Every structure is written in C-alpha cells, then in structure tokens.
Chain A
Amino acid sequence: MSKLLAWRGWLVFAVLAALPLLPWMSKYYMLLAFDALLFGAVAMSLDLLIGYTGLVSFGHAAFFGLGAYATAVLLERGVLSLWLCLGLAAVVVGLYALAVSYFATSRRGIYFALLTLIFAEVVYTVFRYTQTFGGSDGIQGLPPPEALPGVALDTPARLYYLVVAYLLLAYLACRVIVRSHFGRVLVAIRENEDRARFLGYNVQRYKMGVCLISAILTGLAGALYPGRAAYATPDLLHWSVSGEFLIMVMIGGLGTLVGPILGGAFFTILQEKVSSYVQWYNIVVGLVLVLIVLFVPRGLLGLRQALRGRAGREAA
C-alpha cells in the first residue's frame, strides 16, 4: 500500500492553508472558499456511493440537512461546543442512514435512487412543517460554535481553517477506505454484484456500511454549515439539493474522490459568481450540466485521465 497522500496532495493542502495570507482574500472570498471546500467534501462523500459502489443516492440532502439541524438545535439551546454538535450530527445522521440503507440497499438501480429520494422527502416534509424546528423559516440567528470553551469560530479565517481540516481528514478517511479490502469489495459490487455475492460476500452489509460512512461524512459537513450561515432551513433538505450534489460529482468525475472535490468547488463558485452577474444563473448552471453530460461524461478529472491515457498509449 503506497503512501496515503503523495507530496502533491500535501502541497495542495499547504497552498489551501496559506490561502488566507493572500492580501486580496476578503471576508467574502474566505466564505466562498469555505462553501467551495465544504461542498467539495460532500461531493467526495457521495462519490464513495456513486463512483465506487455504483449506488446512486438521490437523498444526500437529508444527511446534510439533518447534520445542519443537529448543530442548529444545540446552538439554539446554548450548547456551543463544536464537538458536541458534530457528535450529535453523527449519531442522528447515522441512525437515519442505517434505517434508510437497510431498506434502500435491498433494491438495485433506479429503485435505490428513488427509495433514498422518497425517504429524504419524508424528512424534508417533517422539518418543513414542524414548528419545533421553525417550520419553513428553519432555525435562524444562531451564535457561532466554540472549538474550545471561549474560542468561538466567529471569524472567516477560523471557519476556513476548520473546513480545510475537515476536508483533509475526510479525504484521508476516504482514501483509506477505497484502498482497503472493504473498498475493493465495493468496486467488485459495482462491477458485478452477483459475482461478488457468489464469492461469498454479504453484499447488502457492504452496501449498508458504505452508505453509513458516506452519510456520516455528509452529515458532519452539514453540521459545520450553520457555523458559517447562522441558520438551518428546510431548503437544505430539499431533493433539488440532492440533485446539486449529484451534479457536483458528475462534473468532477465519478470514482476519483479528487474529481468530486473539484466538482463541488467548481459548482459552488460557478453558482455564486454567475448569480452575482445575472439573475438567470440557473440557466447557465443547467446548461453547463447538460454540456458536461453530453461532451465530458467522465467529468473534469476523467477528461484529464482520458487524455493522459491516450498520450501514454501513443508513447508506447
């Protein structure tokens, strides 16, 4: 097994860590970078399911939103510890993911996608109409969480470093998983589920395992979100958000981990930048998606790999 992170990987994270030192990194750009990396991390977690296991989840917004609500509920009640927020998010999202994946993994293909979608819609409906959680307004005006007692994550730079640290840890976790025996079995399931079963693997247990990991990683990212936004609203749980997560993975390239991080960052920045110039940014974003599916179905990173592969063959 080779090193967890090649020197280029460490270099990228070193550059990310140095980013706030740049003079033109205003508060606005710091928060944009926060969003880009956070949604990059979410897309990477989703890639474990779609890219590696071949399971298309159309319900990841529920994991993200539940994580956000876990933090919001605690912050609203004056529990400011970031670690408690993350812990509660992991427990809540984990339990929900266990229930969903138990039912959803019993079905394949498009039925899996639809089951995850409908379960997520149930969660959306519950939060949208329950007054304890603020109904359609959600929970607003939250105080910043504290990393340590008295150390509030109230500046863009602190938030930014938090998300860089999260991305690094989540990425390392995903790398360990996809390179482990467990990860190889997931790929085997994607390639030929029946054969994996004939080899004696309990396919459903592997699928539930990867669902749980992907959901908790997404939920933890969700738990970081209210620290930046100061709110959690039911919009975070809507199925169109799940669709956006899928788009991020597709833009980046399935089954590459790094690709979806880039895809998530690219999509977030594209949406933010285009929306500050034109009102009809959804047309631009939708068209970019259509063009990518048509012309670069393997995503940004897939494109690069394809080019490199071609160059390699020509050289040989």
Chain B
Amino acid sequence: MEYLSGVLLPQLLHGVVFGAALGLLALGLTVIFGLLGVMNFAHGELYMFGAYAGITVIGLTSSFWVALVAAPLLVAVVGALTEVATLRPLYRREPLYGLIMTFGLAMVFREGARQIWGGGMRRILPPIEGSIPLLGMIYPKYRLFLLAMSSALLLAIWLFFTRTRAGIIVRAAVQDAEMLDGLGVNVPRVFTLTFAGSAALAALAGLLLAPVFTVYPQMGVEVILLAFIVVILGGMGSLGGSVVAAFVIGIAQSLLTLWMNPQRVAIAIFGIMIVVLIVRPRGFFGREGVLE
C-alpha cells in the first residue's frame, strides 16, 4: 500500500501529466502531416521557441500568465511566416523535400535560439507553488494545473474540429485538398493558418513543460523523436489516435523508469515503435496504406 501511494501512483500521474503535454505537441505534428504530408522536423524547435518566448515575456512582464497567452501567439507568427516563405512553394513536390527542408529550418532555429538566448540551461519557476494531498500522496500543484490545462486544451481542440466550421474545413483539407479548392475555399490560407495553429500548440507545450523540465536550445531535439513515435503509433493523420498514443507513451515511459535505467527505457520505447511499425504500420487508428 505504501509502495502504491508513495511510488506507483505519483509515477503514474507524472506519466499522465507528461502524456497530456505530449498530446498537445503531437497533435500539431499530426495535423500538419495529414494536411501537407510533411513530417515537420522543426516542430521540436517551435516547442523550444515557446519556452524561450515565455522566458522573454516573463522577463518583461514578470507574469507567467501573460506569457502563456503571448508566447504561443508570437510563435504562431513565426510559424505562419515560415510556412508562407518555405513550405508553400513545396505543396506539389514529394514529401521527402518537406522533410529535408524542415531539417534545415530546425538547424536555423536552434542556432538562432542559441544566438538570441545563449546556450546555457534556463529555468522557469512554476507560477503555482506548493503541493496538496491527493489520494494519499503529496502532489505538486503545478503539475495538476498542467494536467488540467492540457486536458482543457485537448478538449477545446476536439470541439474545434468537430463543432466549428473552420475545424471542419481543416478536416476537409486533410481528406481532399483539391476538392476543397474546387469548392471555393482558399486552401493555401487554410494551410498557413493551420501551420500557425500547430506552432502555437507546440509553443504551449514547450512553455507548460518548462517549469517541470529545463530550457535549452537542444530541448526540441530531445522531444521530437518521441513526438514522431506518438504520431506513428496513433496512426499518421489521426487526431484521436495521437492523443491516445501520447498518453500511452507518457505513462509507459514514466512507469518503465521505475524498473529500468533511462537508456533501457529509451530502447524499450524504440522497441515498441519498431514492433508497431512492422506489425501494424498504420498505428492504432490510422487509415491503411497512407503514404506507403
């Protein structure tokens, strides 16, 4: 019983918290993949930008809450500009070019961050301090806020895609962009706005996780492979699948650290991934034969 409330339960909850934030990150990635057919290698750098933009805004206003609104907006602008300047000319080319292009963009962004904010480790203090008793354990309040915030955002995104006209247009573009174009929708604008939205989500994930982790220019590299794994596991282009897979990976990683050292955990996660790719490449909820 002590093991349950002292070790297992907190670790499980850590996993759920991390999974929710990972879901935010992976959702943007999967929408862009469905829309443009591009695996966005620079997505991790947008996540990193979110944390650094947060540090700058907090430095100016000394308020985490202002940063939570301003940082995603700033990164969304960066995302929109990037999309128009670099990805728009690639719409009709093979997906491979998008992959390589975003690899180059990631290099530029990472080095840019190092030049602007320096290469050292930075921290953001949690805006909510202290812990509260929960189910027989003491749990930090900020992590609970992180979970609530991420879950609310995931719910909002689900409502956006199912209940609003704009969300339905984006889903239609994933289905068949050409048809949508024929119906008179300005498809390039849909793409750009969606990319901006995906950048904002990545930035939110970066800023929300910053008080739990540390902020440094390479932080996107550490997380992007995990986000890729989530997207594939959930099924490329499947929104619900990504969210489910994010929780699965978050919880699996968190629980496995109880019994293994971190590198074994990493290898175990890669192992899960390899098995899924071989046995069921479309993931949990993906359509069969997408990009195969």
B100 and A247 form a contact (CB under 8 A)? yes
Closest to A287 in B: B108
Partner of B104, one of A115, A128, A129, A290: A290
Question: In the assembled complex, which residues on chain A have CB atoms less than 8 Å from the CB atom of B101?
Answer: 289-290, 293-294
Closest to B274 in A: A118
B292 and A111 form a contact (CB under 8 A)? yes
CB within 8 Å for A106 and B111 given contacts A114-B228, A125-B270, A247-B100: no
Question: In the assembled complex, which residues on chain A have CB atoms less than 8 Å from the CB atom of B110?
Answer: 282
In the complex, A108 has a CB within 8 A of chain B: yes
How many Å from the CB of A238 to the closest CB on chain B? 9
In angstroms, Cα B107 to Cα A239, docked, is 13
In the complex, A265 has a CB within 8 A of chain B: no
CB within 8 Å for A103 and B278 given contacts A282-B111, A283-B107, A294-B89: yes
In the complex, A25 has a CB within 8 A of chain B: no
Interface of chain B, main secondary structure: helix
Closest to B95 in A: A110
Question: In the assembled complex, which residues on chain B have CB atoms less than 8 Å from the CB atom of A126?
Answer: 263, 267
CB within 8 Å for A243 and B96 given contacts A125-B267, A294-B89: no
In the complex, B97 has a CB within 8 A of chain A: yes
In angstroms, Cα B278 to Cα A293, docked, is 31
In the complex, B172 has a CB within 8 A of chain A: no
Partner of A129, one of B99, B232, B263: B263
In angstroms, Cα B232 to Cα A129, docked, is 26
A293 and B111 form a contact (CB under 8 A)? no
Question: In the assembled complex, which residues on chain A have CB atoms less than 8 Å from the CB atom of B99?
Answer: 56, 110, 113
B270 and A122 form a contact (CB under 8 A)? yes
A285 and B225 form a contact (CB under 8 A)? no
> Which A4-60 residues have C-beta < 8 A from chain B?
56
In the complex, B291 has a CB within 8 A of chain A: yes
Interface 1/0 per residue, A76-112 and B, CB below 8 Å: 0000000000000000000000000001001111110
A125 and B266 form a contact (CB under 8 A)? yes
Closest to A282 in B: B111
How many Å from the CB of B252 to the closest CB on chain A? 15
A119 and B108 form a contact (CB under 8 A)? no
CB within 8 Å for A115 and B291 given contacts A247-B100, A287-B104: no
In angstroms, Cα B231 to Cα A111, docked, is 12
In the complex, A137 has a CB within 8 A of chain B: no
B277 and A290 form a contact (CB under 8 A)? no
Question: In the assembled complex, which residues on chain A have CB atoms less than 8 Å from the CB atom of B277?
Answer: 107, 111, 114-115, 118
How many Å from the CB of A281 to the closest CB on chain B? 8
Closest to B110 in A: A282
How many Å from the CB of A277 to the closest CB on chain B? 14
Question: In the assembled complex, which residues on chain A have CB atoms less than 8 Å from the CB atom of B232?
Answer: 114
CB within 8 Å for A118 and B270 given contacts A107-B277, A290-B104: yes
A243-B41, A282-B108, A293-B100 given; 19 more Cβ-contact pairs under 8 Å: A107-B277, A107-B292, A108-B292, A111-B291, A118-B229, A118-B274, A121-B225, A121-B266, A126-B263, A129-B261, A240-B221, A247-B104, A280-B112, A282-B107, A283-B112, A290-B105, A293-B90, A293-B97, A294-B90
Residues of A within 8 A of B (CB): 56, 103, 106-111, 113-115, 117-119, 121-122, 125-126, 128-129, 239-240, 243, 246-247, 250, 279-283, 285-290, 293-294, 297
Sampled A-B contacts (10; CB under 8 Å): A111-B291, A113-B99, A118-B229, A118-B274, A282-B107, A282-B110, A283-B107, A287-B108, A290-B108, A294-B86
